[in-house]
Amino acid sequence: MHLLGIETSCDETAAAVVKDARTVLSNVVYSQIPLHQAYGGVVPEIASRSHLEKIDGIIEQALQDAHVTYDQLDGIAVTYGPGLASSLIVGLSAAKGLAMRLKKPLIGINHLEAHIHSVFLKPDAPDPHEACPMLALVVSGGHTCWIDIPKPGEYHIMGQTLDDAAGEAFDKAAKLLGLGYPGGPVVDKAAKEAKTLASIAFPKGRPRAGNPALGAMEAEMCVSFSGLKTALMYHLKDHPATPEDIPEIASSYQEAIVSALVDRCAFALSKKNYKALAVGGGVSLNRRLRERLTELAAQHNTRLLLAEPKHCGDNAAMIAGLAGMGFGVTGDAAFLLDVVPSLEIGKTK
Ligand code: KG4
Ligand code: ZN
């Protein structure tokens, strides 16, 4: 089965063709990073206009790279949430139009669930059914959450960030340190040059007890990163940084985020026997996070599943892949879908 995937939830215009849920025949990603760099973050109007300009060419390229014709497609899968409304609408409209014209099925996909599926696009990954029960961590620029997955397609949110996402915390630090945008890769790179791991004590990302945002979630499974960037701001006020100080600051800050993420995974792994720990999203590219997760998985005798670097950030292969598993909104309901900017994991609206 050949599915075309379309993804425009944020600042990447992406299209891909995936065969049988896991074999990626093409994966085209046009990153708008240079367009947003001057502003230090994604500007929704610029993102949406750029998606509109690029989407047709990117879809065409994905089919060409895959050596698949429109006729050979068995359906079109598209992200309808979560993300920026004005960006999502471009991909969803393009997918609806194409599916109607070609008279092919349309499948609406939840972007966060697709980030989890990205680990199964790696050729040596186990079958998703064999990897369950699985603990998943989605860490990106907009999301940080832990999910218990007893079987493919069933999601129970165990915890999440109560304020900033991990990627956002990296991006804000890079801005404060004058390192540019996006922040994750530059903080990661600067931290590599540090002589010590954590010479500066930054807050550990623990939510305050009794925080109403916890709801029914356990505090041990949630994080709060907004205090971290404030601590960095005060640190820089008290100790104006010279270029030589940057690696130590970057490493200490990174260690605080990574420790918070790894500690929550450790807590979940100590509560239940998970066959696998799957980690997806842009922040899963972080070198130190990968190191710490590898150690943790070995301690718990759990298989660590990480996506290939090209499938960690936003891409459309994960969208077509998850649809290929038989998940997502299908049939007439798909053609009636509207974008859902705050769509949660495990929900359809
Ligand atoms: O998944 P993604 O491409 O887009 C969203 O859905 O948000 O994630 C982007 C985020 C950005 O915040 C970026 O700074 C972060 O992933 N990121 C990293 C690294 N590479 C990208 N964070 C930490 N270390 C990295 N090496
Ligand atoms: Zn994403």
**Domain extents for the chain?**
2-116+312-335, 125-306
> Do the Cβ atoms of 116 and 124 come closer than 8 Å?
no
pLDDT given at position 92: 98
Q: Which amino acid type is present at position 108? A: G
pLDDT given at position 193: 97
Q: Residue range 151-176: average pLDDT?
A: 97
pLDDT given at position 265: 98
- Cα-to-centroid distance, 253 and ligand 2 (Å): 22
Task: Give, rounded to a whole angstrom, the gap between the first and last alpha carbons of the chain.
Answer: 27
Candidate of 112, 258, 283, 342 to mutate for ligand 1, largest count of ligand atoms within 8 Å of Cβ: 283
pLDDT given at position 8: 98
Q: Residue range 174-203: average pLDDT?
A: 96
For 160-170, how does the pLDDT look when each residue is reduced to its tens digit (9 = 90+)?
A: 999 999 999 99
Ligand 1 touching residue 341 (CB < 6 A): no
Q: Residue range 100-115: average pLDDT?
A: 98
Whether 207 shows a pLDDT value over 90: the answer reads yes
Q: Which residues of 295-318 are buried (b: 16+ CB within 10 A; e: fewer)?
A: ebbeebebbbbbbeeebbbbbbbb
pLDDT given at position 224: 96
Q: Give which of 238, 215, 243, 213 is closest to 225, Cα–Cα.
A: 213
Fold for the domain defined by 2-116+312-335: Nucleotidyltransferase; domain 5 (3.30.420)
Question: Which residues lie across from 75 on neighbouring strands?
Answer: 3
Ligand 1 touching residue 327 (CB < 6 A): no
* Cβ-based burial of 203 (10 A; exposed 0-12, middle 13-18, buried ≥19): middle
Q: Of the bound ligands, which one is closest to the alpha carbon of residue 283?
A: 1
Q: Residue range 39-64: average pLDDT?
A: 96
Whether 175 shows a pLDDT value over 90: the answer reads yes
Structure tokens at 176: 């404060």
Atom in ligand 1 nearest the alpha carbon of residue 111: 6
Ligand 1 touching residue 170 (CB < 6 A): yes
**Rg of the Cα trace of the chain?**
20
pLDDT given at position 252: 98
Q: In angstroms, rounded to a whole number, what is the distance separating the alpha carbons of residues 108 and 301?
A: 35
For 63-83, how does the pLDDT look when each residue is reduced to its tens digit (9 = 90+)?
A: 999 999 999 999 999 999 999
Q: How far is CA 269 from the centre of its chain?
A: 21
> Do the Cβ atoms of 301 and 271 come closer than 8 Å?
no
Q: Residue range 106-114: average pLDDT?
A: 98
Tokens 């996506």 belong to 307
- Cα-to-centroid distance, 202 and ligand 1 (Å): 21
Q: How far is CA 109 from CA 79, 86, 264, 321, 336, in A?
A: 5, 17, 27, 10, 13
For 256-285, how does the pLDDT look when each residue is reduced to its tens digit (9 = 90+)?
A: 999 999 999 999 999 999 999 999 999 999
pLDDT > 90 in the chain, percent = 97
The dihedral built from the CA positions of residue 9, 7, 134 and 204, taken in this order, carries a sign that is negative
Q: Which CATH superfamily does the domain covering 125-306 fall into? A: ATPase, nucleotide binding domain (3.30.420.40)
pLDDT given at position 255: 98
Whether 128 shows a pLDDT value over 90: the answer reads yes
Q: In angstroms, rounded to a whole number, what is the distance separating the alpha carbons of residues 148 and 132?
A: 9
Q: In angstroms, rounded to a whole number, what is the distance separating the alpha carbons of residues 236 and 190?
A: 16
Same fold, 2-116+312-335 and 125-306: yes
pLDDT given at position 91: 98
**Which backbone phi and psi does 200 adopt, to 5 degrees?**
-110, 130
Ligand 1 touching residue 142 (CB < 6 A): yes
pLDDT given at position 208: 84
> Do the Cβ atoms of 322 and 109 come closer than 8 Å?
yes
Contacts of 261 (CB under 8 A, 6+ apart): 137, 139, 144, 166, 223, 283, 289
31-35, 60-64, 288-292, 319-323: least confident range: 31-35
DSSP 8-state assignment for residue 329: B
Whether 41 shows a pLDDT value over 90: the answer reads no
Average predicted confidence (pLDDT) for the chain: 97
Whether 330 shows a pLDDT value over 90: the answer reads yes
211-215, 258-262, 315-319, 344-348: least confident range: 211-215
Q: In angstroms, rounded to a whole number, what is the distance separating the alpha carbons of residues 287 and 188?
A: 7
- pLDDT tier at 40, thresholds 50, 70, 90: confident
